[in-house]
Amino acid sequence: MRTAEIKRKTKETDIKLTLDVDGKGAGEINTGCGFLDHMLTLFAKHGGFDLTVYCKGDINVDYHHTTEDIGIALGEALKTALGDKRGIRRYGDIILPMDEALVMTAVDISGRPYLGYMIPIPTQKVGDFDTELVEEFFAAFVRESGVTLHIRLITGGNSHHIIEAAFKSVGRSLREAVKVNEDDPDAIPSTKGVL
């Protein structure tokens, strides 16, 4: 089974996260930030991942440390769950609509962390969530997971819709990339022989 359990405790956050990449899309999320809970639930559902996240963070300050550290833990979980990445398809992409918002996402589970983030969000906040933290989350996730991730807004005007489309599209792209290639389930998908 391709699963991982991550525990991460700092002076700013205390996180317990479990990930099953071959799940059914079940999310049990409690971060202390309702908007982030919503986005992670969408990520799990559209990725087909079973994901639990419990975080006690310094949300009396703001949501920065909580958001970034959950990105770190999720990235570490994905990397751990995939192991040597044997048999994965490696690549996934989608153009995903969310009402007026349209987001393009492409992922390469390459072992080389890179974030191409081109998501201009019109407002500074959605509710009490700072929208600049979306980039912080994905940057932390990419660093720890070792994936190349491009997310680009094609069109959109509603901040909630744009962010929702981003999380859904990343989930859907990863879903394709982590699938086992049934034609060659024991192969490492690289001419190097390692990812």
Q: Where do the structural domains in the chain lie, given as residue ranges?
A: 3-178
What is the DSSP-derived secondary structure letter of residue 22?
T
d(C-alpha 82, C-alpha 20), whole Å? 10
d(C-alpha 148, C-alpha 115), whole Å? 6
Instruction: Kindly indicate the confidence band of residue 193, based on its pLDDT and cuts at 50, 70 and 90.
Output: confident
What is the DSSP-derived secondary structure letter of residue 101?
E
Pull the structure tokens for residue 37. 């809970």
Rg of the chain in Å (alpha carbons): 16
pLDDT digits (tens, 9 = 90+) for 128-185: 999 999 999 999 999 999 999 999 999 999 999 999 999 999 999 999 999 999 999 8
Fold of 3-178: Ribosomal Protein S5; domain 2 (3.30.230)
pLDDT digits (tens, 9 = 90+) for 40-84: 999 999 999 999 999 999 999 999 999 999 999 999 999 999 999
62 and 16 Cβ atoms separated by less than 8 Å: no
SS3 97: strand
